Structure 1
Amino acid sequence: MQNSALPNLWQQGAVIPLTITDLSDNGDGVGRFEGRVVFVPDTVPGDELEVRLVRVKPGYAHAQLLLIMTPSPHRVRPSCMVADKCGGCQWQPVSYDYQLQAKQNQVVQALERIGGFDLSSAELSGCLSPILAAPEPLRYRNKVTYPLDERHGKVRAGYYRKGTHRLVNLNHCPVQDLRLDPLLAQVKQDIQQRGWTIYNEKTHRGLVRHLSLRVGRRTGEMLLTLVVRNWDLEGLEDQAHLWLRRYPGLVGVTLNRNPERTNAIFGSETRTIAGRDYLEESFADLRFQIRPDTFFQVYTEQAEALMRVIQDHLKLEGNETLVDAYCGIGTMTLPLARQVRQAIGIEVQPEAVAQAQTNAKLNNITNVSFQTGTVESLLPQLGFVPDVVLIDPPRKGCDASVLAQLRLSPAKHLVYVSCNPATLARDLQQLCRTDEELNGGHYKLRKVQPADFFPQTAHVESVAFLERAV
C-alpha cells in the first residue's frame, strides 16, 4: 500500500536523483526514474545527477540539470565556452569515441526496431559496417548561417539557446572552418556602424535577418551573404567592396531577400553586390561552383569519403547506366559519371539543375544529362532500365509514390544515401518487403555504411546498398 505521506516526485518542479544510461536521437541524455523515462540535455551516459523535472507527462518527463554528482567517464570539457547555452551542438560534453558509439547504435536501433531487420541473421550478419569517423571532429563546417538580433544597441549573431528563440552571441565557433571566424566577429560591427536595422521576428520590422558564410575547404574561397527583408541597405555596395579588400579569400558578397514571416532562412531572390555569386571548390577531383543557397554537404572531406565507399562497393566497369535521383548540383552524379557509360540526374529545383549543368561543363563531362522534375514522374519516362539508381532524399525520406516507382524499376543496384536513420529504416523496410499486395519486385539489403558528417551533434549520415531480388 502506497504511503500517502511520501511526496509525489513525479510532478513539475520535483528534484530527483538520476543516472543517465543512454542518448536520445535528438542528443539528450536518457535516464529512468520509477520506471519512467527522463530526458536531460547536456548529459552523458554514466553521469549521476540531480535534476529538476520541468515538463512532466504520464510516462516520461524532460528535466533540467542541476548538479553532476559523479561525472561519466565519457564526459569531456566542451570545446565551446557557451556549449551549455548554445543550441548549435548537442554533444560537446560527450567524448568523440562515445559519440561514434552512440551514432552507430542509432543506426542499429533504427534498422532493427523500425525497419524490422535482424542484423544477427545469417543473411544480414556483417552488413552493417563500423561508422566512418571524422578526421577532425572540430573546425569542419564549410557553411554557417547565423540569425541576427540587437541588444542594448549592439548587433549580435549566433545560434538560439536550446528550445528558445533567444540568441547566444558568438564571435567564433569551434565547429566552423577557422577561416570564417574573423568575418563573424567583424561583420557584426560593420552592420552596426552602418546603422542597418536588425529584423525582429515578432514585429516583422527591421532589415537584416541572417548572416551566411561559406568557404571552399580546398580552395579557401569564401562567400558572404546577408539575408534581408528588403533590398534597401544604404551604403551596401561600398561596404561590400570594403569586405572584399579586407578579406583576401572573399570572392563575393551577395544579398538574399526574404520578405516573408517564416522560419525559412533564404528567400527566392539573390543579388550579387560585389565580386561573384559563387565560390569554386574541389570535390572528388572535380571543380564545383557553389552558390550561397546551394545544398552542399557541410563536411567536405567526409562527403568525399562516403563517395569512395559508394565507388568501391559498386565496382563500376564503365558500361553501366546510372540515375541519380535528388541530384542537386551534381555532387554525386558527376564523380560517378566518369565511371559509367551514361548518367542522368533528376532534381525538382530548376536552379540546382542549372548549377549541375554548369558543373558538368566546367569539368568537360559530356555523358551526363540533368532533368527537372519529380523522381516519381521522371523515373518511369527514362525509356531504359538503369543499372544503378542512387537516391539522396531530404530528411523526411522518400514519399510513398517514389518508393512505389523504385519497386517497379528493375534496376539491379539501388544506393540510398540518408541523413536520418529512422526514415532510412522505414523506407528500406518498404523496399525490401516481399508482400504480394505490393506492386513490382523487391530489393535485398546488402550493406549499410554510417558516416559522421556532423561531429558534436546527434545527426548521422548513412548509405545503404540494395540489390534487386531475383
Structure 2
Amino acid sequence: MPMMITNQPSPECWQQGQLIEVMITDLSDSGDGVGRLGNRVVFVPDTVTGDRALVRLMRVKPNYATGKLHQLLVESPNRVRPRCIVADKCGGCQWQHVSWDYQQLAKQNQVIQALKRIGGFSEPAVAPILTTDSPLGYRNKATYPLKRSATGSVQAGYYQKGSHQLINLNQCPVQDQRLNPLLGEIKQDIQQLGWSIYNESRHQGRLRHLSLQIGQRTGEMLLTLVTTDLNLKDLDVQGQTWLNRYPQLVGVCVNHNP
C-alpha cells in the first residue's frame, strides 16, 4: 500500500530529512527528475517525467532542493526496468530507468531549451535527434577504479552516486559488450599476481585504475593500467600473456600517475 502524506510541508518550510510528495514534470541535463512545488524546484535522481513520488529532502537551498526517492506512488509510462542489476546504486549512468523513446524526446528538448535560454533563440530550428539502434553497448572506453574488498579480493567498478563507495562489476551493459570478458578475467589476474591496490584513505598501494578501450569498427582493444609507480612484478610477462590470450588486444599501456 503506497504511503501517503497527510500534512504536506509547504515549500517555504522545507527542511532536510522531510518527506514530500511531488509530481515529476521534467528531466534535468544530468537525467535527474525535476519536480516543482510553489516557487521551489526539487531534483530527484532515479525518477522520470510522469512519476508521482514520495521524496526525502537531502539538501535544501533558497530556490531549490535535492531529494532521494523514498517510494514511487504512481509509476510513469516513461519508466522501464533497468537492464543493469546495480543501476540504482552505480554512478556509471543515469538514464537506464527512462524508456528509449522518451530519452530521445527529453534530450532533444534539452538542446532546444539550451538554445533558448543560453543562445537567446526564440524558436530554434532543431532537426530530429539522430539515434543508435540500442541505448546499450555504446561506450567504447571504460575506466574503472580498483580497490580491495574487506576479504582481500580485487574489485573494479564505478563509484556509488555521490560517494567513493565502489560498486563491483563483472560486466556493464552500456559498454561495448566485447570488453566484458576482459573485466572479470583481468581482475582475477591482478588478484593472482598479488599487485597492491591503491588505498585512497592511506595513500598506499600501486594500482589505481583499469582502463579498457575498443575501436568500434576495427575491434582492436587497448588495456591501460593506471599506477602510482612502475614497479609491478612481472609486468612485462603479464602484458605479453594478455596479448597472447586476447587476439584483438593490440596494446598494454601503463599510465604513471604518482
| TM tier, smaller | over 0.9
1:184-203 pair list within 5 angstroms: 184-203=183-202
Equivalent residue number for residue 64 of structure 2: 60
> Following superposition, which runs of at least 4 residues in structure 1 exceed 4 angstroms of deviation?
5-9
Q: Counterparts of 1:65-104 in structure 2 under 5 Å?
A: 65-104=69-108
The DSSP-based 3-state class of the residue aligned with 1:240 is: helix
Shift of 1:239: 1.3
SS state at 1:49 partner: strand
CA radius of gyration, larger in: 1
Paired amino acid for 1:196 = W
- The match for 1:143 is 141
Q: Within 5 Å, which residues of 2 pair with 1:268-283?
A: none
Aligned equivalents of 2:137 and 2:90: distance in 1? Answer: 17
Question: Do structure 1's residue 40 and structure 2's residue 56 form an aligned pair?
Answer: no
1:266-305 paired onto structure 2 within 5 Å? none
Inter-partner Cα distance in structure 1 for 2:9 and 2:54: 17
Superposition pairs for residues 336-375 of structure 1, below 5 Å? none
Give the one of 103, 109, 118 matched to 1:105. Answer: 109
Q: CA deviation at 1:252?
A: 1.5
Offset at 1:6?
8.8
Is residue 26 from structure 1 mapped to residue 24 from structure 2 by the alignment? Answer: no
Using the alignment, how far apart are the partners of 2:38 and 2:113 within structure 1? 24
Corresponding residue number in structure 2 for 1:230: 229
Give the structure, 1 or 2, with the largest relative contact order (CA under 8 Å, sep 6 or more): 1
State the identity %: 63
Partners of 1:217 and 1:50 lie apart in 2 by 42
TM-score in terms of structure 1 length: 0.51
State the AA in 2 paired with 1:204: H
**For 1:278-317, what per-residue CA distance to the aligned partner results, in whole angstroms no more than 9, with x for missing partners?**
xxxxxxxxxxxxxxxxxxxxxxxxxxxxxxxxxxxxxxxx
Instruction: Give the distance between the partners of 2:45 and 2:241, measured in 1 at CA.
Output: 42
Q: How does 1:232-271 map to 2 (within 5 A)?
A: 232-259=231-258
Question: Gaps spanning 5+ residues in structure 2: where?
Answer: 1-6
Question: Could you say which residue in structure 2 is the equivalent of 1:134?
Answer: 132
CA distance, structure 2, for counterparts of residue 6 and residue 251 of structure 1: 60
Q: CA RMSD in A?
A: 1.6
Q: Distance in 2 between matches of 1:176 and 1:79?
A: 13
Determine helix, strand or coil for the equivalent of 1:39.
strand
Gaps of 5+ in 1: 260-470
Moved more, 8-17 or 221-230: 8-17
CA displacement 1:352-374 (0-9 Å, x = unmatched): xxxxxxxxxxxxxxxxxxxxxxx
2:173 matched residue in structure 1: 174
How far off is 1:87 after superposition?
Answer: 0.7
Deviations 1:318-337 (A, max 9, x none): xxxxxxxxxxxxxxxxxxxx
CA distance, structure 1, for counterparts of residue 178 and residue 132 of structure 2? 19
Contact 2:8 2:21 in 1 (8 A): no
Please give the secondary structure, in 1, of the residue aligned with 2:224: strand
Q: Which string of whole-angstrom CA distances, capped at 9 and with x for unpartnered residues, describes residues 192-232 of structure 1?
A: 11111111223221100110111111221111110100000
Determine the C-alpha separation between the residues in 2 that align with 1:132 and 1:72. 25
* Map of 1:116 onto structure 2: 120
Code of the residue aligned with 1:91 in structure 2: it is: W
Inter-partner Cα distance in structure 2 for 1:165 and 1:205: 16
Shift of 1:7: 6.2
Structure 2 CA distance for partners of 1:16 and 1:246, relative to 1, 3 Å: same
> Does the 8 Å contact 2:44/2:68 carry over to 1?
yes
Separation in structure 2 between the aligned mates of residue 163 and residue 241 of structure 1, nearest angstrom? 38
1:244-272 CA distance string (max 9 Å, x none): 2221211211111011xxxxxxxxxxxxx
Q: CA deviation at 1:72?
A: 0.2
Separation of aligned partners in 1, 2:215 and 2:24: 39
Which letter maps to 2:132?
A: A
Distance 1:252 1:113 in 2: 45
Q: How many residues align?
A: 249
CA–CA distance in structure 1, aligned partners of residues 169 and 98 of structure 2 = 21
**Cα 1:34–1:175 shift into 2, 3 Å:** same
- Corresponding residue of 2:4: none
